[in-house]
């Protein structure tokens, strides 16, 4: 009997240990202790499980935190749909553009150090951007548009990079001759360093005059290069030393060369690997020279939760300060409104009711957007399916880790709707 009790106790402890180990870096609470409904959160988890069973997605990890405590932390489905590996809480996901907030925070640390200013022309650090042109489409002799250029009216600033008003663009989605020029340039050919990538990009025309238009772009990659020049370190080394290691983000990196970590890499379905022209899931096991501050990081739900809790705390976590509260307030304010002379581009990803701060979309008010959250909420997602948001008024943040480009926008709205339905006080 005593042996049976010991065995039962060991079994219960064994079931509890994975949750404790995965979530030990942040305090935990039952949902009702922080004003959330267990039943409602379970409904969302059940929807994700049903979608896994239907073959829509391979798997996911959902983390919901409120009032400084993790209230829901559930893996569903498979880590690798081919191998059939169950999804662990510490699955490693390609977070793509959820790299941007991390890179922007790293740059703001240099601003607070007095080594960088938001109104600095980036040519101060990257001379290749000293003389830029802007692409203009004009009718050719055959009536079809051809690409001409005019001089940029003002320099690109550090602030432009952070708020996507640099005039740079991405080539892999959307129409236009400048985007076609980006694709034709094959900017990533031959595994360039970030310095080489910056040199290549600076030779191409801008899609818009700097400071005039919100256009999603390679701006944050160039911001990463600015960090390298100012800090004298590689982008990853600076982020690792100043931010990732001190925050305890042990699984956040640009590549996963370590054999011990590689079995935890989440994979998409074979039919769902593309998110644009010439853009498909990379293999983070293969180490390259290029460190994309705009889209190259991998991370876990728990790592990213520590990052978001630091932001929600006003720049500190576990007694260590990373940024000042006024800096966080500046980053999460709207920097892309009409008062700043900025108009939305044709593919305005923040969406209705949102402006853009420094690294995040920022909700302007409680209305306009087609889903619930409070004004001041800020968010961003990755092309591979990952998503996060922080809602300071409700003292809440959410991390959804998923590898599905096809359904990424579907789950962003679904997750918001169902999680806010779980807020009961």
Counting beta carbons within 10 angstroms of the beta carbon of residue 148, is it exposed (0 to 12), middle (13 to 18) or buried (19 or more)? middle
Q: Out of 238-252, 272-286, 338-352, which region has the weakest mean confidence (pLDDT)?
A: 272-286
For 199, phi then psi, to 5°, come to -60, -40
The rounded distance, in Å, linking the Cα atoms of 59 and 403 is: 8
- Better-scored residue on pLDDT, 248 or 175: 248
- Please check whether residue 366 lies inside any domain of the structure: yes
Sign of the CA dihedral running 173, 178, 181, 186: negative
- Please check whether residue 17 lies inside any domain of the structure: no
**Token output for 239:** 């982020």
Of 173, 188, 220, which residue is a domain's last?
Answer: 220
- Please check whether residue 19 lies inside any domain of the structure: no
Task: Quickly state the pLDDT bin for 279 (edges 50, 70, 90).
Answer: confident
**Token output for 287:** 């180490």
User: Euclidean distance between the first and final Cα of the chain, in Å?
Assistant: 45
Range of the domain at 121: 116-220
The rounded distance, in Å, linking the Cα atoms of 397 and 390 is: 4
- Please check whether residue 225 lies inside any domain of the structure: no
pLDDT at 184: 92
Spatial contact of 421 and 41, defined as CB atoms under 8 Å apart? no
Of 220, 242, 272, which residue is a domain's last?
Answer: 220
Spatial contact of 282 and 84, defined as CB atoms under 8 Å apart? no
Q: What are the pLDDT digits (tens) for 75-133?
A: 999 999 999 999 999 999 999 999 999 999 999 999 999 999 999 999 999 999 999 99
Sole residue written with tokens 């200013």: 117
Angle (CA) 85-248-158 rounded to 5° is 105
- Please check whether residue 373 lies inside any domain of the structure: yes
Q: What is the full DSSP assignment across 26-56?
A: S-B--GGGGTB-HHHHHHHHHHHHHHHHTTS
Q: Say whether pLDDT at 9 is over 90.
A: no
Angle (CA) 178-184-190 rounded to 5° is 130
The closest of 63, 293, 413, 350 to 342, measured between CA atoms, is 350
- Please check whether residue 229 lies inside any domain of the structure: no
Number of domains in the chain: 2
The rounded distance, in Å, linking the Cα atoms of 209 and 180 is: 18
Sole residue written with tokens 């010991």: 6
Sole residue written with tokens 């559930």: 74
- Better-scored residue on pLDDT, 20 or 203: 203
Task: Quickly state the pLDDT bin for 264 (edges 50, 70, 90).
Answer: very high
Residue 193 CB neighbour total at 10 angstroms: 15
Q: What are the pLDDT digits (tens) for 205-241?
A: 999 999 999 999 999 999 999 999 999 999 999 999 9
Task: Quickly state the pLDDT bin for 409 (edges 50, 70, 90).
Answer: very high
The rounded distance, in Å, linking the Cα atoms of 374 and 206 is: 35
pLDDT at 338: 79
**CATH number of the domain within which 35 lies:** 3.40.710.10
Strand partners, 136: 148
Query: For residue 140, how far is the Cα from the chain centroid?
Result: 40
Q: What is the mean pLDDT of the chain?
A: 93
Phi and psi based region of residue 315 (left: phi greater than 0; alpha: psi -120 to 50; beta: remaining)? left
Shared domain for 170 and 55, answered yes or no, is no
Task: Quickly state the pLDDT bin for 12 (edges 50, 70, 90).
Answer: very low
Shared domain for 242 and 356, answered yes or no, is yes
- Please check whether residue 59 lies inside any domain of the structure: yes
Strand-pair category, 298-299 with 145-151 = unpaired
pLDDT at 339: 80
Q: Say whether pLDDT at 386 is over 60.
A: yes
Strand-pair category, 93-94 with 298-299 = antiparallel
Shared domain for 252 and 377, answered yes or no, is yes
Shared domain for 210 and 240, answered yes or no, is no
**Token output for 165:** 């008003």
Q: What are the pLDDT digits (tens) for 326-335?
A: 999 999 999 9
Task: Quickly state the pLDDT bin for 277 (edges 50, 70, 90).
Answer: low
Q: Say whether pLDDT at 308 is over 60.
A: yes
Q: Say what the alpha-carbon torsion angle 372, 375, 378, 381 is, to the nearest 10 degrees.
A: 30
The rounded distance, in Å, linking the Cα atoms of 416 and 276 is: 25
Task: Quickly state the pLDDT bin for 378 (edges 50, 70, 90).
Answer: very high
| Distances in whole angstroms, Cα of residue 291 to Cα of each of 188, 226, 236, 295 | 11, 13, 7, 9
Q: What is the pTM of this model?
A: 0.93
Residues 6+ apart with CB under 8 A from 250: 244, 303
- Please check whether residue 8 lies inside any domain of the structure: no
Of 220, 254, 273, which residue is a domain's last?
Answer: 220
pLDDT at 199: 98
């Amino acid at each position: 009997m005593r042996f049976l009790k010991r065995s039962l106790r060991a079994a219960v402890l064994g079931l509890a240990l994975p949750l404790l180990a995965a979530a030990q870096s942040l305090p935990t609470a039952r949902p009702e202790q922080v004003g959330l409904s267990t039943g409602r959160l379970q409904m969302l988890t059940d929807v994700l499980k049903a979608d896994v069973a239907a073959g829509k997605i391979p798997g996911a990890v959902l983390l919901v935190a409120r009032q400084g405590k993790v209230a829901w932390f559930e893996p569903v489905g498979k880590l690798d749909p081919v191998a059939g590996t169950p999804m662990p809480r510490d699955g490693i996901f390609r977070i793509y553009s959820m790299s941007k907030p991390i890179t922007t925070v790293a740059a703001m640390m240099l601003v607070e150090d007095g080594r960088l200013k938001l109104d600095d022309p980036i040519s101060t650090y990257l001379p290749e951007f000293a003389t830029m042109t802007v692409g203009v489409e004009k009718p050719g002799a055959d009536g079809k548009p051809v690409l001409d250029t005019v001089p940029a009216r003002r320099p690109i600033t550090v602030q432009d990079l952070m708020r996507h008003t640099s005039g740079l663009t991405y080539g892999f989605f959307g129409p236009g001759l400048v985007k076609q020029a980006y694709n034709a340039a094959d900017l990533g050919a031959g595994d360039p360093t970030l310095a080489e990538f910056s040199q290549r990009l600076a030779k191409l025309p801008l899609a818009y005059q700097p400071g005039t238009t919100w256009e999603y772009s390679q701006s944050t990659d160039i911001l990463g290069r600015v960090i390298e020049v100012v800090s004298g370190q590689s982008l990853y080394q600076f982020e690792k030393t100043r931010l990732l290691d001190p925050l305890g983000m042990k699984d956040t990196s640009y590549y996963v060369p370590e054999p011990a970590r590689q079995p935890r890499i989440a994979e998409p379905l074979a039919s769902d690997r593309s998110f644009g022209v010439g853009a498909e899931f990379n293999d983070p096991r293969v180490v390259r020279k290029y460190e994309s501050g705009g889209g190259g990081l991998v991370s876990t739900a728990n790592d990213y939760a520590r990052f978001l809790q630091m932001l929600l705390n006003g720049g500190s976590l576990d007694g260590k300060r990373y940024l000042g509260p006024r800096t966080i307030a500046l980053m999460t304010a709207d920097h892309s409104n009409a008062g700043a002379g900025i108009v939305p581009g044709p593919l305005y990803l923040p969406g209705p009711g949102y402006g853009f701060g420094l690294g995040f979309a920022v909700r302007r008010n409680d209305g306009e957007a087609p889903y619930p959250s409070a004004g001041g909420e800020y968010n961003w997602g990755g092309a591979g399916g990952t998503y996060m948001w922080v809602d300071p008024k409700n003292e809440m943040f959410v991390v959804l880790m998923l590898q599905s480009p096809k359904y990424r926008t579907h789950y962003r709205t679904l997750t918001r709707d169902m999680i806010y339905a779980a807020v009961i006080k």
